[in-house]
Amino acid sequence: MVRMLSWNLQNFGTRYGTDAAAKTCEIFRVHMVSMFVAQAEAAVLVIQELRKEGVGYLRNFRDELNKIARSNKEAADWNYDWLPGSIAGTNEVASLADLAFTPVGNSEGYGVLYRTGHLAQMESVSAGENTSALDGGIKANFISLIYKGRPVIFQDDGDFITITYREGRNYVPLNFIRSCCTDPNLSKSMRSGKLKTNEILQQRALVRRPCVVHWSEPNSAEEALPVVVYHAPVGARGAKSPLYGTLIGFASDALQGDDAIYTGDLNVVTFNCLDAISQHARDSLEYAYQSQSAGVFSNSMVHASTRGGTSWRLGDGIYTTSRDLAFAKKTQRVSVENVIPSIETAGAEISDYLKARADFITKKVIPRAARFVKNPPGAEELVAAYVAGQVPAGATYDLSTCCALIYNLVFSDHLPILLDR
């Protein structure tokens, strides 16, 4: 069995700022995520929300994973590759210069950490293996951006736009959309003027797209398995962009073979999006997909506080929406991997490490947290309760809250997706 993690590491590279103090916090996060990757026995990690400023931290990631491997008497064979998440302004992609971290794409890209032999080399325009140079390297490529797929037809159909496919395999530039996509036949005011839904759906340049890696098993005769990872557009102002973007993603050329996986932070949480996507995966694809956890989508978001940070969440209430999803052809196992028990369990390696560094979290991380974690006052108190393993009488939070806060401060607001084959 081989294992991969797909993980939205929120604002990777800019989460704590960009100065020297921020760097110490980001490197601490790199170490903690590396500990979990090793605990999960994963051989591949695909990172969503990579910022340009985070590219240099991929080397730290590789070094941390190799350090852990050596301590476990394993081969120190981790490598990395990366690319920006948007096309810079053309419909064709011939070189890394044709890709960009664009404002329309939320300035995001993708990174991948992998053990030697667990990804197949690709003809692509990634930065190249083990290079942090923003103009790329000269070594082999192990990740690529999706920009072609099955010809897509958009049809207005009641509340949703129906996406169907033309016959044939002549892959064409694949249209993706930006956030704030409106309902069919309605217009929305954008900075560029008023645009109708189908006009927004036809946009190709600048918006964020999926990436793809080819997952292999060393010494196996099986062909490498395409895995398409997408951080779909958000649903700002009630937009249906995540739904439409995710459906378009199913048309990616890499998903059209006998076996494949489609996964990522798909942001589909409203307008019955989960049902719509599940039905599309089941009924409209050339090959039947099985959805994550036998058709049950687990809540994958973790939030210590309510929206706006007005109060603390308690118990299982820390798990909010199902945004991180996976669809696998054939027999792959896909599920959300819950990191919280590793944080909560006394005596566990990750838990002990975090408690030993509670002072760093309190003095260094929390002051940087307000920009991405909306916490009520008293976050320091929750860290102290986490270390003690009990909350004061009359507290407005519980140990689940404390663990969720630690997770939000040190890891992300998304749980990782675990893929087995």
Domain positions in the chain: 3-342+410-420
Per-residue pLDDT, 181:
77
CA distance 228 to 246: 11
Per-residue pLDDT, 335:
85
Region 371-392: mean pLDDT is 87
- Identify whether the C-beta of residue 129 lies closer than 8 Å to the C-beta of residue 81: yes
Region 223-250: mean pLDDT is 88
Per-residue pLDDT, 87:
93
Per-residue pLDDT, 237:
67
- Identify whether the C-beta of residue 251 lies closer than 8 Å to the C-beta of residue 170: no
Per-residue pLDDT, 222:
81
pLDDT band at 35 (very low <50, low <70, confident <90, very high): very high
Give me the chain's average pLDDT, please.
88
Of 163-177, 281-295, 392-406, which one has max mean pLDDT? Answer: 392-406
Does the domain spanning 3-342+410-420 belong to CATH 3.60.10.10? yes
Region 142-171: mean pLDDT is 81
Region 180-202: mean pLDDT is 69
Region 281-292: mean pLDDT is 62
Structure tokens of 74?
A: 């394993």
Residue carrying the six token digits 């009488």: 393
Structure tokens of 331?
A: 């027999």
Per-residue pLDDT, 201:
73
CA distance 148 to 135: 23
Check residues 368 and 200 and name the one with the higher pLDDT: 368
pLDDT at 241 over 90: no
80-103 burial, b at 16+ Cβ within 10 Å, e below that, comes to bbbbbbbbeeeeebeebebbbbbe
pTM of the model: 0.94
pLDDT at 416 over 90: yes
pLDDT at 278 over 90: no
> Which SS3 state, helix, strand or coil, does residue 405 take?
helix
CA distance 118 to 219: 10
Region 388-401: mean pLDDT is 94
Per-residue pLDDT, 296:
66
Per-residue pLDDT, 294:
53
What size, in residues, is the chain? Answer: 421
pLDDT at 272 over 80: no
- Identify whether the C-beta of residue 79 lies closer than 8 Å to the C-beta of residue 197: no
